[in-house]
Amino acid sequence: MLAAIEIRLAALVSDGLTARTHTRVIRTPAPAPAAGKGTVLVSVAGAQEDPSFQPDLLSIGQGDDKKAPVRRVVGVQLNAQIDLVVTPPTADEAGADAAHDLVMDDAATVIYALHQDEVMSGKAFVPADPDPGFDVHCFNFEKMTMDGASAAHLFFSGRADVWPAGSSQDGGKIVSIDSLIAPLPLRIEMDQPALLPGGTTAVRVPSFAPTRLASDGHRTPASLAVSVTSDVPIAQRGSIPDGSPGPETGLRIVPVSSPATVFSYRAPAANAGPARWEYIQVHLATADLRRGPLLGSAAVRIAGSA
């Protein structure tokens, strides 16, 4: 993923420096170069979450109309750094000036090589591997600084999607789309929005289409995936006694009914601290009975003893 981006960036820098025969491109620190020689250290110096990234983003690769690879990716902002150094050819003022001129021109050559549409758009990063573990969307020069007379530092930023190489799956052909029309978030109501420890209340979720389209084309009963969230561990939270247990701890699967789906919430048996809030989250259950899209949530206040 990130290493593959760094390798590709080093290759692009090498291509741009072919006429600069006194220097060589490296990816890990090396001893000081010989007199009159230089090194160009290329590195992905950092990465952070892309604030524009949407969780569980799916990237659909190229493919025919029957099979297209689908993968889950993570969007990141990249920080790349290129460190250039030249050792003076002689230990005098003339040698220092020569090294200074060489490193300045080396830096300018790298900036020029990477400041082209193919690189800035990310297209130049695309390797021959159809599943490289990354997809660069943009790459831009930020600034240059000098460290003494014969060392320069170039800083770049970019955006990319990354994923474990080889994790793509054939998504198959979409043969139908199941639509569910409901205003979100659903208005979830409780008979008692405040409870004593151990108390119970009925929770009502407005009804919608009672069936869903299954992968085999047939319609199956729809269900809700209901859970309780709180500031305390799951064992100390309230629970949903109705429905059946889901594959995840604390998850209950409740069949959809009409005109409303009604289930119970039971407050925890004890609350030794001050009053606190718990939240009943209602998701549309997926075909494998896990949490699907969030439909809505409701808050309940649990009285405390403090």
pLDDT of residue 54: 53
To the question of domain 189-302 being in CATH 2.60.40.1930, the answer is yes
pLDDT of residue 212: 75
Say if residue 18's pLDDT is above 70. yes
Most confidently modeled range among 71-75, 120-124, 130-134, 204-208: 120-124
Tokens in use for 72?
A: 């889950």
Say if residue 69's pLDDT is above 60. no
DSSP string, the chain: -HHHHHHHHHHHHHHHTTT-TTEEEESS--PPPPTT-EEEEEEEEEEEE-TTPPTT-EEE----SS--EEEE-EEEEEEEEEEEEE--SSSSHHHHHHHHHHHHHHHHHHHHHH-SHHHHTSGGG--S-S--SEEEEEEEEEEEEESSSSEEEEEEEEEEEE--TT--EE-------------SS---EES-SEE-TT-EEEEEEE---SEEE-TTS-EEE-EEEEEEE-SS-GGGS-B--SSEE-SSTT-EEEE--SSEEEEEEE--S---SS-EEEEEEEEEE-TTSSEEEEEEEEEEEE----
pLDDT of residue 221: 85
Provide the b/e sequence for 274-294 (b: ≥16 CB within 10 Å). Answer: eeeebebbbbbbeeebebbee
Say if residue 65's pLDDT is above 50. no
Q: What is the pLDDT of residues 181-197, one digit of tens each?
A: 777 778 899 999 999 99
The predicted model gives 156-165 an average pLDDT of 90
The predicted model gives 119-146 an average pLDDT of 91
Residue spans of the domains in the chain: they are 2-170, 189-302
- Global model pTM greater than 0.85: no
Query: How would residue 305 be classed by pLDDT, with cut points 50, 70 and 90?
Result: confident
Query: How would residue 177 be classed by pLDDT, with cut points 50, 70 and 90?
Result: confident
Say if residue 68's pLDDT is above 70. no
The predicted model gives 221-246 an average pLDDT of 92
Q: What is the pLDDT of residues 35-47, one digit of tens each?
A: 999 999 999 999 9
Mean pLDDT for the chain overall:
87
Q: What is the pLDDT of residues 270-282, one digit of tens each?
A: 887 889 999 999 9
CATH number, span 2-170? 3.30.2000
The predicted model gives 13-33 an average pLDDT of 94
